Amino acid sequence: MSRWLYDDAMYRFDRPEPSYWEATRGSQQPTASPLTTNEQCDVAVIGGGYTGLSAAYHLCRDHQLDVRVLEAGHFGWGASGRNGGFCSIGGELLGGEAMVRQYGLEQARAYYRSQVDAIQLVRDLIVDEKIDSLRQGDCEVAMACSRQGFARLKDSAEFEFRVLSLDTSVVSRDEFAERFFDSPLQQGGIIIRPTFGLQPLRFVQGLAEAAERRGAKLHASSEVVDWARDGSYHVLKTAGGSVRAKQVILATNGFSPEHLHQQLNGRSLPVISSIVVTRPMTADELALHHWRTESPAITAVKLLNYYRLLPDGRFLFGGRGSANGSESSAARNYAGLIARFNQTFPNWRKVEIDYRWHGLVCMTRRMTPAIGRLSDDPTVFFAFGYHGNGVNTATWSGKQVARWLVSGTGDVHDVPEWLPRMMVGMPDRFPLSSLRLVYLQAMIGALRLVQRFH
Ligand SMILES: Cc1cc2nc3c(=O)[nH]c(=O)nc-3n(C[C@H](O)[C@H](O)[C@H](O)COP(=O)(O)OP(=O)(O)OC[C@H]3O[C@@H](n4cnc5c(N)ncnc54)[C@H](O)[C@@H]3O)c2cc1C
């Protein structure tokens, strides 16, 4: 029986995903040799994406701790190296109004403020560490597909502006076509600032190189296969060696090895998201949909699509992924995604697709991210569950884990006041967690049905 939730094809750590990002990876690379010895350090980080690297970077830069990062693949092998590259507001699925009802106005405002800060953090890291991340655009454009959809979007944008102090504005159908792009589905939309697009693999590679420069020791191809306790130390074993550490940070998000620690079991719902990228288009081809923005865009429906124009004229289009991650189910899913691309932008239906790939995003039962320490072992910290919006949220969460680790008292009930409440602590387990994929498919089926009538 597989140790993982999805088909084993989703966890081939020795194979880079065949993405456009891998094909255009930059020259910034950490040394990151595999672990081949038995080592000791202050903090061991499991997972080399934005969360783990941001935690390691901040622990080394600001607190000069001895940190090692163990990554099963290459740095950025996971979602951090294969996402859509939207650095945008999000990270949760509750929505602003539900958040205010559940957690109160001040906490909801604090959450969205943290999202804006998180975008600024990514921008600062890019500038301070001279990361060649190919930044593009200055807002996120959300397209409505029906009159009811536009009315809903307008209401939520007005609420976010008035109550949550977010920088949102409403755009009519004509203005939308004039300023951004057009599609037969387009019924107006909204814009949200701040947001920009980047090359996500270059950002994670740059972050890895910066963490290494600040003193973190990085080990690629070093999957943690066993985790034991030896007195006050954790002992993490890989195929080639081991690390003894006083504290551990779990930063594996959608690729979490639930078999490694019983506390992880059933706490998250990884969901596959897929992307296709076209060949470069000419200016005349782009004009067929009046495309005139470098800003990232989404179709604002429940099962959303996300898309953006890339610096070389290629077009990236992403959406829901396959049911189980096997090669055959992924192939069927890419066909569906391309059909949705053609439906949204029919004048580009003859444009060839050059790249297709997928990866895991991570949901929690309470529909907000999770930052905390294990209740039965406060020397283990975690951060996960960014609901498909981790470029800023994971980078920011890694920094918060570092801050908590150095400033906390060691008492599990001692929670930092600077963290918005809805992000703190381990989320509840999904009920009947072994059936997570079954009810995920049922939920997607239901959403598809709802969408058909809106
Ligand atoms: C297709 C797709 C599109 C997305 N689009 C966007 C977007 O446009 N904007 C946005 O903000 N977010 C997006 N996301 C989400 C975003 O990529 C993630 O939230 C973010 O990268 C999470 O970062 P992370 O460091 O927590 O996890 P990851 O980057 O997934 O890193 C976890 C790492 O843990 C490693 N690991 C697992 N088990 C072990 C082990 N036992 N030992 C050692 N290492 C281990 C894995 O190899 C992996 O590299 C997207 C995700 C996907 C998949």
Q: Which atom of ligand 1 is nearest to the CA of 272?
A: 53
Tell me which amino acid residue 20 is.
Answer: Y
The β-bridge partners of 163 are: none
Element (H, E) at 353: strand 353-364
Q: Which atom of ligand 1 is nearest to the CA of 80?
A: 21
Nearest protein Cα to ligand 1, atom 2: 83
Q: Which atom of ligand 1 is nearest to the CA of 392?
A: 11
Q: How far apart are CA 88 and CA 297, in angstroms?
A: 10
The β-bridge partners of 299 are: 143, 305
Q: Which atom of ligand 1 is nearest to the CA of 391?
A: 11
Nearest protein Cα to ligand 1, atom 47: 72
pLDDT attached to residue 444: 72
Q: How far apart are CA 80 and CA 203, in angstroms?
A: 9
**How many angstroms does the Cα of residue 424 sit away from the middle of ligand 1?**
20
pLDDT attached to residue 450: 57
Q: Give the residue carrying structure tokens 């070389």.
A: 312
Q: What is the pLDDT along the chain (454 residues), one digit of tens a residue?
A: 568 889 999 999 999 999 999 999 999 999 999 999 999 999 999 999 999 999 999 999 999 999 999 999 999 999 999 999 999 999 999 999 999 999 999 999 999 999 999 999 999 999 999 999 999 999 999 999 999 999 999 999 999 999 999 999 999 999 999 999 999 999 999 999 999 999 999 999 999 999 999 999 999 999 999 999 999 999 999 999 999 999 999 999 999 988 888 888 899 999 999 999 999 999 999 999 999 999 999 998 877 999 999 999 999 999 999 989 999 999 999 999 999 999 999 999 999 999 999 999 999 999 999 999 999 999 999 999 999 999 999 999 999 999 999 997 777 778 899 999 999 999 999 887 778 877 777 777 766 655 554 4
The β-bridge partners of 200 are: none
The β-bridge partners of 243 are: 39, 236
**How many angstroms does the Cα of residue 251 sit away from the middle of ligand 1?**
9
**How many angstroms does the Cα of residue 186 sit away from the middle of ligand 1?**
31
pLDDT attached to residue 1: 54
**How many angstroms does the Cα of residue 317 sit away from the middle of ligand 1?**
18
**How many angstroms does the Cα of residue 33 sit away from the middle of ligand 1?**
21
Q: How far apart are CA 125 and CA 132, in angstroms?
A: 11
Q: Which atom of ligand 1 is nearest to the CA of 386?
A: 19
How far, in Å, are 208, 252, 337, 376 from residue 71 at the CA level?
11, 9, 30, 25
Distance from chain centroid for Cα 9: 20
Which of 334, 386, 393 to probe ligand 1 with, by most ligand atoms within 8 A of CB? 386
Please give all residues whose beta carbon lies within 6 A of any atom in ligand 1, as ranges: 13, 46-52, 70-73, 77-80, 82-86, 223-224, 251-255, 257, 260, 273, 275, 318, 358-361, 386, 388-391, 394
Angle ∠(13,322,355) on CA atoms, nearest 5: 65
Closest CA to 227 of 263, 183, 270, 181: 263
**How many angstroms does the Cα of residue 126 sit away from the middle of ligand 1?**
19
pLDDT attached to residue 169: 96
Residue 273 φ/ψ region, left for φ over 0, alpha for ψ in the -120 to 50 degree band, beta for the rest: beta
How far, in Å, are 50, 209, 227, 264 from residue 61 at the CA level?
16, 13, 27, 29
Nearest protein Cα to ligand 1, atom 50: 83
Element (H, E) at 359: strand 353-364
Nearest 10 degrees: Cα torsion 297, 75, 238, 258? -10
The answer to whether 248 touches 380, Cβ cutoff 8 Å, is yes
Which of 17, 196, 253 to probe ligand 1 with, by most ligand atoms within 8 A of CB? 253
Q: How far apart are CA 249 and CA 405, in angstroms?
A: 9
What SS3 class is residue 189?
strand
**How many angstroms does the Cα of residue 253 sit away from the middle of ligand 1?**
6
**How many angstroms does the Cα of residue 49 sit away from the middle of ligand 1?**
6
Angle ∠(243,247,253) on CA atoms, nearest 5: 90
Closest CA to 205 of 132, 312, 275: 132
**How many angstroms does the Cα of residue 76 sit away from the middle of ligand 1?**
8
Could you tell me where the DSSP H helices lie in 267-360? 283-287, 327-344
Nearest protein Cα to ligand 1, atom 19: 390
Nearest protein Cα to ligand 1, atom 51: 83
Which of 71, 133, 192, 259 to probe ligand 1 with, by most ligand atoms within 8 A of CB? 71
**How many angstroms does the Cα of residue 270 sit away from the middle of ligand 1?**
10
pTM, two decimals, is 0.97
**How many angstroms does the Cα of residue 359 sit away from the middle of ligand 1?**
8
Whether omega for the bond prior to residue 194 falls within 30 degrees of 0, making it cis, is yes
